[in-house]
């Protein structure tokens, strides 16, 4: 692996690599699949690729690293973030962790296709871990090749940045590059593999620690190392909690409960479904991590999951996400129990998750509906009735809530059986609207408008509040799929167009309204546009 010191702003990247300096490494240097015990990581080098080419980069993430557009379009940038080059100070490694997958303990998992290049400290003193996904095998790759394809890499790149601009806690994405090599993938695990363009995405976060990093140590009864890792986590990422003690551990766990609840509430607010909420995909910082078979609700179906693997059980459906968040936190509580040796305070923290989520849900839905604040006496019934009605006929969630802000109260309900024209845009099959449905929706709207009158707020203020909580643009799967098809043909322009669009998801953006349209009928069951697999 070539190590170079570039003569431009990449030279300013400095690395302190606190994780590898403070925690024990796998003593075996060779890169072969194995069980790694009494270690938090293995040092491993990215695999060089044949002909890397930059597809796209995020200028906002580049700025976090003090990099300029000139830096990001240089040959060195492409070589570095495809895995062909290392900078001075980088110390690449893959982390060891386990996880519960679909409710069952899976043992050691680890960074099977992710390699952390190092921990960079920017000029403001912020820590950013640079991680390549798809940069080759590691000791944790099991039977896989450690590589990634352009399809999944573009999806991760775009969604990471889309979520950030939606105001949702997330890992970020600096760049996506092609490798000039083909990778064989069976997209739906149905015995039809094909060769696809290989790619590498550079992910960026303050930390990539997951619930599974702690679970694996307790499962192996490596309690001394568990304490070392938790202490490191608190000192590095939660320094505001102060000196380490049992009380600090409990404060830390409560904060993880709070940030996890906040993250999932944001998912629910915009209709995002993660698709694979295994404990190894849960960030200790409450960040959305590992974008695989995700999707946004189009038709408002609360039991919808984008993951083909989850199609039967629907464990990770939209409506189950809050419950799975709590289930995963219980697994984390079990893993840190040896540090506390008391169940009651952990249960209290878990109860805090439940109460925090319920209060957050009420406040979030009140904001989506434009209320000044949540009023228990009226709003709980209003919200529950709306959730029920939206599931009766296929209704686009994003369009319905966005357009609700422009409905002029009672004026559009004067004619019996009619619904506001702006809301009609949200229905996929308006011909299925029965008289009973129209009456029920009209009844809800009348109750809703009466509730708005109680607030006596300025209509413009209400609309602004609603539009700042209900995005106009989200990364619909069919939009990502169209961008991927063009990129696979050598044209990354639509990836760049989508990235620009998704920078301002709450703004109207004249001339781009077609990106806010309902999913076209051709995309309803098309591979990559509806449900996806973990290979996606």
CB of 348 closer than 8 Å to CB of 417: no
Specify the residue for token string 């099959």.
429
Residues pairing with 56 in the sheet: 176
**pLDDT tens column, 36-46:** 999 999 999 99
Q: Which of 10, 236, 32, 229 is nearest to 117 (CA)?
A: 10
Supply the pLDDT for residue 102: 96
86 vs 80: CA distance, rounded Å: 6
Q: Average pLDDT for residues 186-205, to the nearest whole number?
A: 87
Contacts of 439 (CB under 8 A, 6+ apart): 417
Confidence of residue 457 (pLDDT cuts 50, 70, 90): confident
CA distances from 465 to 289, 366, 423, 458, 469 (A): 28, 10, 18, 11, 7
**pLDDT tens column, 482-509:** 999 999 999 999 999 999 999 999 999 9
Supply the pLDDT for residue 210: 98
Specify the residue for token string 């509806």.
530
- Is the pLDDT confidence value at 269 over 70? yes
Residues pairing with 409 in the sheet: none
Residues marked active site are found at: 280
Lowest-confidence pick of 180-194, 200-214, 270-284, 403-417: 403-417
358 vs 361: CA distance, rounded Å: 5
Supply the pLDDT for residue 536: 45
> In the chain, what percentage of residues exceed pLDDT 90?
90
Supply the pLDDT for residue 3: 55
CB of 187 closer than 8 Å to CB of 302: no
Specify the residue for token string 């946004």.
296
- So where are the chain's domains? 15-27+41-93+110-208, 212-367, 371-467
Confidence of residue 413 (pLDDT cuts 50, 70, 90): low
Confidence of residue 186 (pLDDT cuts 50, 70, 90): confident
- Is the pLDDT confidence value at 414 over 90? no
* Beta-carbon count within 10 A of 509 CB: 16
Confidence of residue 377 (pLDDT cuts 50, 70, 90): very high
- Is the pLDDT confidence value at 406 over 70? yes
Q: What is the CA radius of gyration of the chain?
A: 24
pTM: 0.96
């Amino acid at each position: 692996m070539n190590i170079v010191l570039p003569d431009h702003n990449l030279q300013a990247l400095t690395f302190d690599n606190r994780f590898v300096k403070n925690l024990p490494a796998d003593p075996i240097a060779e890169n072969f699949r194995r069980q790694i015990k009494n270690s938090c990581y293995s040092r491993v080098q990215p695999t060089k690729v044949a002909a890397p080419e930059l597809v796209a980069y995020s200028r906002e993430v580049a700025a976090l690293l003090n990099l300029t557009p000139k830096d990001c379009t240089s040959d060195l940038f492409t070589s570095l973030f495809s895995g062909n080059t290392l900078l001075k100070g980088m110390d690449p490694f893959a982390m060891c962790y386990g996880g519960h997958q679909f409710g069952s303990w899976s043992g050691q998992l680890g960074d099977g296709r992710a390699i952390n290049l190092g921990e960079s400290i920017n000029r403001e003193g912020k820590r950013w871990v640079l991680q390549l996904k798809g940069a080759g095998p590691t000791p944790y790759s099991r039977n896989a090749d450690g590589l990634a394809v352009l399809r999944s890499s573009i999806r991760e790149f775009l969604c990471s940045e889309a979520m950030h601009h939606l105001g949702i806690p997330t890992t970020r994405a600096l760049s996506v590059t092609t490798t000039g090599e083909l990778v064989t993938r069976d997209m739906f695990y149905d015995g039809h593999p094909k060769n696809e363009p290989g790619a590498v995405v550079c992910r960026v976060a303050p930390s990539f620690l997951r619930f599974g990093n702690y679970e694996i140590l307790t499962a192996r009864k490596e309690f001394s190392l568990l304490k070392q890792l938790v202490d490191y986590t608190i000192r590095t990422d939660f320094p505001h909690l102060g000196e380490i003690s049992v009380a600090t551990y409990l404060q830390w766990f409560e904060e993880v409960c709070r940030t996890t609840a906040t993250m999932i509430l944001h998912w629910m607010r915009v209709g995002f479904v993660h698709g694979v909420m295994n404990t190894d995909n849960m960030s200790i910082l409450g960040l959305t991590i590992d974008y695989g078979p995700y999707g946004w609700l189009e038709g408002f179906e609360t039991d919808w999951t984008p993951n083909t693997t989850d199609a039967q059980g629907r464990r990770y459906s939209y409506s189950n996400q809050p419950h799975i968040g709590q289930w995963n936190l219980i697994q984390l509580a079990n893993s840190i129990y040896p540090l506390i040796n008391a169940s009651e305070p952990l249960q209290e923290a878990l109860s805090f998750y439940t109460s925090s989520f319920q209060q957050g849900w009420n406040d979030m839905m009140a904001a989506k509906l434009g209320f000044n604040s949540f009023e228990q006496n009226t709003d709980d019934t209003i919200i529950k009735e709306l959730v029920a009605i939206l599931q009766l006929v296929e209704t686009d969630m994003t369009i319905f809530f966005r357009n609700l802000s422009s409905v002029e109260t009672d004026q559009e309900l004067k004619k019996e059986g009619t619904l506001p024209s702006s809301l009609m845009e949200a229905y996929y099959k308006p011909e299925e609207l029965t008289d009973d449905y129209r009456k029920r929706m009209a009844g809800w709207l009348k109750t809703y408008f009466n509730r708005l009158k109680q607030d006596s707020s300025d209509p413009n203020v209400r609309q602004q509040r609603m539009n700042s909580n209900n995005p106009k643009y989200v990364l619909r799967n069919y939009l990502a799929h169209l961008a991927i098809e063009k990129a696979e043909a050598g044209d990354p322009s639509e990836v760049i167009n989508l990235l620009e669009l998704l920078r301002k998801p709450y703004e109207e953006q004249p001339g781009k309204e077609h990106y806010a349209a309902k999913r076209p009928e051709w995309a309803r069951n098309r591979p990559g546009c509806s449900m996806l697999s973990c290979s996606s």
